[in-house]
Amino acid sequence: MKVLKFGGTSLADRQRFEEAANLVHEAARDGRVVVVASAVAGTTNRLSALIETSNRIDVDWKDEVCVVERQHLEVLATLPLQCRNPAARSIQTIIEVLRNDLRALAADPANRKEIADRVLAVGERLSVQLLAATLQSKGRAARVIDAADAVVTDSFFGEARVDFEATRRRCRRLFAGRDTATSIVTGFIGADRHGRTTTLGRGGSDFTAAVLGAVLDVERVEIWTDVDGVLTAPPQLVPSVSSIPWLSYEEAAELSFFGAKVLHPQTVGPLAERGIPIHVRNTLEPARRGTEITAHSGARNRVVATSAFEEVTAFRLRDVFLGSVDEVLMLCRASSDGTTLVAVPSSRAGSLIEQFEIEDHFAASIVTLVGHDIALQPWVAGRALESLARRGIAVRSFAAGASPHTVALLVERDDLENALCTVHDALMLDRETLAVSRRNLKTEKKEIRHVSAA
């Protein structure tokens, strides 16, 4: 069995749904497939904006809801009636529930967070209808599964944590037997023990694919997106990126933690534990190889990628307060005055600045270099710092060795793009070199097997 996850960018319009359905249809010829779908591109942002403005009397949400409804119904327009009608009816029911929830939010109820999660979940609940109907129009049976029936979470609305054991029990029942219909599951959502819909955090559909992959112990998980796999840097910041053919779980986990948006940060862990390969592929160019993530790195002692945690706030904090700060991204304790430089995600900085009455803080970003054991290679930090110095970019803090696979540099936010391009171009290896090291790695493994057999 395989899990195929399609991101919102791969489900942007009718044409993309056709392409995604073709890929599923093709994969289902070779064996059982479970599909995880995100919301249509832009829908979750729209729903989030509706939640934000729901209790403002000057903002009318009705038109916006009509736009969402029309956009989804349009995807069905060219499908045969027997596929289109049931999906259209389900869409109308989901939109009706959305309207009721928005009315409830406008009244500012006590259970606001719970309702907000139901509103956010609408995007995935709509898109699975479209994908199932498109697949059915190709002659393949498809059934929609609402992840609220499959993924069991705690009640932390907005960023719920998954209970893997309870989810495994549910999924065994749901996916048991030799069902010939392809299951299309909503990404991003789950439900707590009381059956209340929860969400797993933005970008969480990748994590849904990982959760299902792990509890169903599938042979692989494919993440279908809009780029050629994991790239050597965020493409919107660095023009000279290339695709990485192979990554280890550890490298992929470091990259996604430090801002490579292509994978939700929690995706790698559950699959790495079971040795399930992750294949990141491009829906627009399905013939390209993409990135294969397994236990083995494509290149040892080399920088394979760079990434950026963009929105960071840094400040000095008295050491006695350190214990009460969670979500620290970087710490630097090298002063005589009992203070430590702390870098946290900017989204969490406001309350800390207020709580500790911090006057001096600055907008920063963390640029990371990732590669197997690179923190142990003296040349990596040396070349990175030198390349930045040549461009006159100040490194405000530096960390290597917390993970042997990551070197992190704190720079001022205004320097981010320049710093990332500089270290990327100074340290990245080209694809050919990576392929050569991969071949060496294979030879190395053969030799090891040979020795142990003797």
Q: Annotated binding site: which residue ranges?
A: 5-8, 44, 124, 225-226, 261-262
Q: Are 186 and 150 in contact (CB under 8 A)?
A: no
Beta bridge partners, 369, equal: 306, 407
By CB under 6 A, is residue 293 in contact with ligand ADP?
no
For residue 149, give the 3-state DSSP assignment.
helix
Helices (H), 258-333: 268-274
Residues pairing with 305 in the sheet: 370
Compute how many other C-beta atoms are within 10 angstroms of the C-beta atom of residue 159: 14
| Binding flag, residue 259, ligand ASP (CB under 6 A) | no
Where would I find the beta strands (DSSP E) of 211-359?
220-225, 246-248, 278-282, 291-294, 305-318, 330-332, 339-345
x/- mask, ligand ADP, residues 181-220, rule CB under 6 A, reads: ----------------------x-----------------
Name which position in 2, 4, 10, 127 contacts ligand ADP (CB under 6 A): 10
Contact string 218-257 vs ligand ADP (x = CB under 6 A): -------xxx--xx-xxxx---------------------
Query: Least distance in Å: CB of 206 to Mg ion?
Result: 6
Q: Which is nearer to ligand ASP, 158 or 235 (CB)?
A: 158
**144 or 299, CB closer to ligand ASP?**
144
- Quick check: 187 binds ligand ASP (CB under 6 A)? yes
Q: Give the range of 4-12, 318-326, 384-392, 425-433 binding ligand ADP by CB under 6 A.
A: 4-12
Q: Closest distance between ligand ASP and the C-beta of residue 39, in Å?
A: 4
Q: Pick from 430, 437, 376, 385: which is nearest to 411 by CA? A: 385
- Confirm or reject binding of residue 188 to ligand ASP (CB under 6 A): yes
Q: Site for ligand ADP (CB under 6 A): which residue of 198, 208, 307, 368?
A: 307
**187 makes contact with Mg ion (CB under 5 A):** no
- Decide: helix, strand or coil at residue 195: coil
φ, ψ for residue 376 (rounded to 5)?
-95, 0
**Residue from the set 133, 212, 262, 388 that interacts with ligand ADP by CB under 6 A:** 262
Which of Mg ion, ligand ASP, ligand ADP, none does residue 260 bind to, with CB < 5 to 8 Å depending on kind? ligand ADP
- Find where tokens 């406008």 sit: 106
Tell me: does residue 46 bind ligand ASP (CB under 6 A).
no
Q: What are phi and psi of 220, to 5 degrees?
A: -160, 160
Kindly state whether residue 203 participates in binding ligand ASP, applying the rule CB under 6 A. yes
Q: How far is the CB of 58 from ligand ADP (least distance, A)?
A: 32
Instruction: Choose between 261 and 438: whose C-beta lies nearer to ligand ASP.
Output: 261
Asked if 366 interacts with ligand ADP (CB under 6 A), we say no
What is the C-alpha to C-alpha distance for residues 329 and 327, in angstroms, rounded to an integer? 6
Closer to ligand ADP by CB, 4 or 102: give it: 4
Is 38 one of the binding residues for ligand ADP (CB under 6 A)?
Answer: yes
Select the residue whose beta carbon is closest to ligand ADP and give its number: 7
Measuring CA to CA, how many Å separate 57 from each of 3, 96, 103, 160? Answer: 44, 21, 11, 30
Rule CB under 6 A: say whether 123 interacts with ligand ADP.
no
How many whole angstroms separate alpha carbon 248 and alpha carbon 298?
Answer: 7
CB atoms < 10 A from the CB of 352, how many?
20
Which range binds Mg ion by CB under 5 A, 5-13, 81-89, 91-99, 334-342? Answer: 5-13
Give CA–CA dist 415/428, Å, rounded: 19
Under a CB-based contact definition with an 8 Å cutoff, are residues 177 and 96 in contact?
no
For residue 152, how many C-alpha atoms fall within 13 Å in the half-sphere facing its CB? Answer: 13
The yes or no reply on residue 7 touching Mg ion (CB under 5 A) is yes
- Please tell me the distance from the alpha carbon of residue 342 to that of residue 333, in angstroms, as a whole number: 9
Please name which of 70, 433, 120 lies closest in space to residue 246, comparing C-alpha atoms.
433
Q: For residue 328, give both structure tokens.
A: 């620290």
- CB contact at 8 A, 347 and 400: no
3-state secondary structure 351-394: HHHHHCCCCCEEEEEEEEEECECHHHCHHHHHHHHHHHHHCCCC
Site for ligand ASP in 23-42 (CB under 6 A): 38-39
Q: Which residue stretch of 3-11, 92-100, 101-109, 280-288 sits at the interface with Mg ion (rule: CB under 5 A)?
A: 3-11
User: Pattern 87-126, binding to ligand ASP, x per CB under 6 A?
Assistant: ------------------------------------x---
Compute how many other C-beta atoms are within 10 angstroms of the C-beta atom of residue 140: 18
Interface positions with ligand ASP (CB under 6 A): 7-8, 38-39, 44, 123, 187-188, 202-205
Which residues form the interface with ligand ADP (CB under 6 A)?
7-10, 38, 203, 225-227, 230-231, 233-236, 260-262, 307
Contact residues: Mg ion, CB under 5 A: 7, 203
